[in-house]
Structure 1
Amino acid sequence: MPMPASEIERLIKASLPDAEVTIRDLAGDGDHYAARVVSRSFEGLSRIKQHQAVYAALGGRVGGELHALQLETAVPNTEITSE
């Protein structure tokens, strides 16, 4: 069963309460999403650590009920980084 965008946002915000989260369904199938996550908690973290924080928030669902996630992270007022 596909994971709704609202659930992805809920999980991320539960772990990163200050985050601004934007989710896009890339294929219209509820399986392939792009997420943009902007959080002060990313300050001083490498892009890899930022992405790990988001994946940790999703609790191992990426690759399972959430088939694919294109992730962009940033600290507010800075450039977006992507994987």
Structure 2
Amino acid sequence: MPMNAHDIESLIKRGIPDATVTIRDLAGDGDHYAAEVVAESFRGKSRVQQHQMVYQALQGNMGGPLHALALQTSAPK
């Protein structure tokens, strides 16, 4: 069963409390999402480390209930 956008946002915010999260359903099918995650806790970390933080926040749902997630991460400007 696919995840909904609210659940994805909630998991990310729970795992990265200072994050601002924007989720878009790319295909309208509830299965392919894009997430923009901006967090001060990303500052000084590589893009790979930032993405690892998001994947960790998703608690193993990536590749299971969450089929596809295009991810953009950054620290606030």
What range is the shorter-chain TM-score in?
over 0.9
Structure 2: runs of 5 or more not aligned: none
Pairwise CA RMSD: 0.5
Give secondary structure in 2 for the equivalent of 1:12.
helix
Give 1:22-61 correspondences, 5 Å limit. 22-61=22-61
Task: List structure 1 runs of 4+ shifted beyond 4 angstroms.
Answer: none
Which residue number in structure 2 is paired with residue 17 of structure 1? 17
Give 1:63-74 correspondences, 5 Å limit. 63-74=63-74
Count of aligned pairs between the two proteins:
77
In the alignment, the residues of structure 2 paired with residue 32 and residue 24 of structure 1 have an alpha-carbon distance, to the nearest angstrom, of 9
In the alignment, the residues of structure 2 paired with residue 64 and residue 20 of structure 1 have an alpha-carbon distance, to the nearest angstrom, of 24
**Aligned-pair identity (%):** 66
Structure 1: runs of 5 or more not aligned: 78-83
Q: Structure 1 length normalisation: TM-score? A: 0.91
Deviations for 1:19-61, whole angstroms, at most 9, x for unmatched residues?
0000000010111000000000001100000000000000111
Tell me which of the two structures has the higher relative contact order, counting C-alpha pairs closer than 8 angstroms and 6 or more residues apart. 2
In the alignment, the residues of structure 2 paired with residue 25 and residue 39 of structure 1 have an alpha-carbon distance, to the nearest angstrom, of 21
Give secondary structure in 2 for the equivalent of 1:33.
strand
